[in-house]
Amino acid sequence: MSTATRSLPRTIGAHAILLTYTAIALFPVILVILNSFKSRAGIFGAPLTPPTPGTFDLIGYTTVIGQGDFIHYFQNSLVVTVASLFFVLLFGAMAAFALSEYRFRGNSMMGLYLALGIMIPIRLGTVAILQLMVASGLVNTLTALILVYTAQGLPLAVFILSEFMKQVSDDLKNAGRIDGLSEYTIFFRLVLPLVRPSMATVAVFTMIPIWNDLWFPLILAPSEETKTVTLGAQLFLGQFVTNWNAILAALSLAIMPVLILYVIFSRQLIRGITSGAVK
Amino acid sequence: MGSLKIENVKKAFGPVEVLKGIDLEVTDGEFVVFVGPSGCGKSTLLRVIAGLEDSTAGRVVIDGADVSATPPAKRGIAMVFQTYALYPHLTVKNNMGLGLKQAGTPAAEIDRRIGIASSMLSLEPYLERRPAELSGGQRQRVAIGRAVVREPKLFLFDEPLSNLDAALRVNTRLEIAQLHRRLKATMIYVTHDQVEAMTLADKIVVLNAGRIEQIGGPMELYNSPANEFVAGFIGSPKMNFIDGGRLGEIAKTIGVRPEHLTVDPKSGRWKGTVVHAEHLGADTNLYLDCEKAGLITVRIFGVYDAEPGATLYATPDPARTYRFGADGKTMK
Ligand SMILES: Nc1ncnc2c1ncn2[C@@H]1O[C@H](COP(=O)(O)OP(=O)(O)O)[C@@H](O)[C@H]1O
Ligand SMILES: [Mg+2]
């Protein structure tokens, strides 16, 4: 670090701004987690204080776990998220490789077409998607959700990954061709490992909206068998009485898996974001 | 065996014509250097020969067989790239062996060839390392080793020394020259550096804007350049070009190499003032601003004391003065 560009007041200023932002961003999350460990009276009496021996209560968690199916909802969410993520990354990377590597007629039109989905929300097509799922008998299956989420995640994945794939050395791919590697081997063994940081970036951006989505589970797979966590938590949100303990506990639990996935990807993620700037 | 014949090869990227009809013959065991300014199509031509790029027109014939429709791995070639292009996830040994493994060569044979290549290039201590753990010079030797183990009919080098520092460049150049003598293989070498071309080549192909300007041995190009472009490209410092009209000549341009001029403080053909002097020890480069000839470079062997501002007379060697016509061609 050169001292010329880093004066003390500036450093303090920057940190103050960042800390404020962090506090604002974390505030609701921390509030949810704190209150999930309190009794109903504790939640309403003093929502901002941490649990005290008087207000500490695990009733929310016991309700959620006791509900039995919640483990199952978790499983559903996890299956849907991981499977969609897998397909988005696989197909996104393959499409991006084709767009960045091969010259063919309509290459740039195809790239534009694949990126169009970034600007048009997939929910506009809900009615048509529902009709399609009914017609193909996929309503109330996890497959329906996985298909929709794969479609939803692909545009951004193709867009970001094709930019990164263009940066992979042509010489390396050509060396592979001269050594007789197939295009698939070149893609999986040479190119994919080199764009791993950007794959992690795409994974995080894809994963979070899928995990949090309420819309498609509600419409395409509302059955008991296929409910996801976000949909399952609605159970406690009654028209007249709301079980806040259970909702807060369910939300706190729902944060955990994404948090774990995020930690797995984040090291790569930071490298992905800075890779252009710091070589 | 490794002969190569290129017939009327053309290559266009969309509307841009990069190669405008290349004809060339390379005989077995020759060391041919493609030289030309950046962007003239050298790499494209090499990639067409390798099969990494389809030509728009024309044929590529290796050892008498038309390979225009043969994939790169089946052409019997090996290529060394400017950026080394080693597989980052493989050890040096596996980097060298991968091509043979893909071709189904028995493991014992692969080991034998890696052994020979690595001793030839002094790579034995590094066989189990990954490319990230090697220096630039070592990486480029691994890349050369990877080409050697394939025992190709044709070696293709695309500016292999450009990413190395000056001292390593000289060493590696020497190694490539020795490799050629030892293997007696056909090599095609691309560079934009005329010094590399002059020192390595049996035959130099000078390319400019997608066309071949001249083909010949190093001394042939130096002594009898076919046109103004070749005359200016071969030789360092560059040949002086003087407007023929100013000197009262019929030729459009007069060319004199800096080493074919002599200077004298008292008398000579062209009177001028010293603008700048470069003292290199073995020789001295003087930049003279002449009344008749304009700014010219003079190369004097050994040490020569000349202060900027001093007046000197330069005289060209009449036997080694070139005349170029309006079309740029050398006049006999
Ligand atoms: N894949 C490509 N698409 C479009 N133009 C290209 C492509 N590859 C090379 N070119 C163009 O062809 C010309 C020759 O390139 P190249 O053969 O790499 O030159 P060099 O002689 O420096 O090796 C350059 O003007 C370059 O812009
Ligand atoms: Mg080049």
pLDDT tens-place string over residues B211-242? 999 999 999 999 999 999 999 999 989 999 99
Question: pLDDT, tens digit, for every residue of B273-303?
Answer: 999 999 999 999 999 999 889 999 999 999 9
Which pLDDT value is given to residue A270?
A: 66
Whether A144 and A38 map to the same domain: the answer is no
Q: What was the pLDDT predicted at A149?
A: 96
- The verdict on A42 and A140 lying in the same domain is no
Q: Residue A277: which pLDDT band, with cuts at 50, 70 and 90?
A: very low
Across chain A, mean pLDDT equals 87
Q: Are residues A51 and A99 in the same domain?
A: no
Within a domain: residue A273? no
Q: Which of A180, A190, A193 sits opposite B99 (nearest CB)?
A: A180
- For residues A19 and A81, state if they share a domain: no
Predicted confidence at residue A115, as pLDDT, reads: 87
Q: Tell me which of A54-58, A197-201, A233-237, B92-96 is least confident.
A: A233-237
Lowest mean pLDDT among A54-58, B29-33, B124-128: A54-58
Tokens of B38: 């950046």
Report the residue of chain B nearest A190, measured CA to CA: B87
Ranking A151-155, A224-228, B124-128, B187-191 by mean pLDDT, the lowest is A224-228
Complete domains list, chain B, with CATH: 4-230 (3.40.50.300), 239-324 (2.40.50.140)
Q: Report residue B65's pLDDT band, with 50, 70 and 90 as the boundaries.
A: very high
Average pLDDT over residues A119-146: 93
Is A189 in CB contact (< 8 Å) with chain B? yes
Residue A155 domain-assigned (yes or no): yes
**Which residue is it, tokens 């002097």?**
B277
Same domain, A81 and A26: no
Compare CB distances from B85 to A169, A181, A189 and report the shortest one's residue: A169
How many angstroms is it from B10 CA to the middle of ligand 1?
13
User: A271 in a domain, yes or no?
Assistant: no
> In this structure, what token pair is assigned to residue A240?
């007249």
Q: Does B14 lie at the interface with A, CB-CB under 8 angstroms?
A: no
Give the count of Cβ contacts less than 8 A between chain A and B: 55
The predicted structure's pLDDT at residue A276? 46
What average pLDDT does range A228-238 have in this prediction? 82
Q: Do B103 and A189 touch (CB under 8 A)?
A: no
Task: State the pTM of this model.
Answer: 0.84
Residue A259 lies in a domain: no
Alpha carbon separation from B253 to A176, A223, B42, B193, B202 (Å, rounded): 49, 89, 28, 25, 30
The model's confidence at residue B35, banded by pLDDT at 50, 70 and 90, is: very high
In this structure, the answer to whether residues A88 and A181 fall within a common structural domain is yes
Structure confidence by residue, pLDDT tens digits, A27-41: 988 998 888 888 888
B150 to chain A: closest CA residue: A179
What's the structural domain count of chain A?
Answer: 2
At B105-123, the pLDDT tens digits run 999 999 999 999 999 999 9
Six-digit token pair at B218? 């190093």
Asked if A128 is an interface residue toward chain B (Cβ–Cβ < 8 A), one would say no
Q: How confident is the model at residue A220 (pLDDT cuts 50, 70, 90)?
A: very high
Q: What is the mean pLDDT of residues B63-81?
A: 94
The mean pLDDT of A121-150, rounded to a whole number, is 94
Residue A49 has pLDDT above 90, yes or no: no
Could you tell me if A122 and A190 lie in one domain? yes
List B residues 149-168 in contact with A (Cβ-Cβ < 8 A): 158
* Res. A278 pLDDT band, cuts 50 70 90: very low
The answer, for A193 touching chain B at a CB cutoff of 8 Å, is yes
| pLDDT reading at B101 higher than 70 | yes
Position A3 scores a pLDDT of 55
Residues A25 and A74 in one domain: no
CATH number, domain at A231?
1.10.3720.10
Domain assignment of residue A268, yes or no: no
Question: How much is the average pLDDT of A125-131?
Answer: 94
Residue of B6, B45, B2, B42 whose CA lies nearest to B23 = B6
Taking CA atoms, what residue in B is nearest to A182? B102
Q: Is residue A146 part of a domain?
A: yes
Q: Give yes or no for a contact between B34 and B26, defined as CB atoms under 8 angstroms apart.
A: no
Within a domain: A269 = no
Q: Which residues of B fall within a CB distance of 8 Å from A177?
A: 52, 71-73
The yes-or-no verdict on residue A237 having pLDDT over 80 is no
If asked whether residues A105 and A231 sit together in one domain, one would say yes
Q: Give residue A262's pLDDT band: very low, low, confident or very high (50, 70, 90).
A: confident
| A250 within domain boundaries | no
How many angstroms separate the CA atoms of B241 and B251, rounded? 12
In this structure, the answer to whether residues A110 and A236 fall within a common structural domain is yes
A51 with A101, same domain: the answer is: no
pLDDT (0 to 100) of residue A205: 86
Note the pLDDT of residue A181: 95
From the CA of B207, the nearest ligand is 1
Q: Could you tell me the pLDDT band of residue A275, with boundaries at 50, 70 and 90?
A: low
- Domain coverage including residue A212: 70-244
Given an 8 Å threshold on Cβ–Cβ distance, is A180 in contact with B85? no
The number of beta carbons lying within 10 Å of the beta carbon of residue B287 is: 18
Cα of B102 to nearest chain A Cα, Å: 6
Cis-peptide, bond into residue B237, ω within 30° of zero: yes
Mean pLDDT on B76-91: 94
Percent of chain A scoring above 70 in pLDDT: 93
State whether A177 and B47 contact (CB < 8 Å).
no
- Model pLDDT for residues A95-114, shown as the tens digit of each residue: 999 999 998 899 999 999 98
pLDDT in tens, A56-93: 888 888 888 887 688 888 899 999 999 999 999 999 99
- pLDDT single digits (tens) B150-209: 999 999 999 999 999 988 999 999 999 999 999 999 999 999 999 999 999 999 999 999
One domain for residues A37 and A76: no
| Cβ of B210 below 6 Å from ligand 1 | no
Which DSSP category does A240 fall into?
S
What pLDDT score does A272 carry? Answer: 57
- In DSSP terms, B22 is beta-bridged to B9
Q: What percent of chain B has pLDDT over 90?
A: 92
The token pair that represents A158 in the structure block:
């193709």
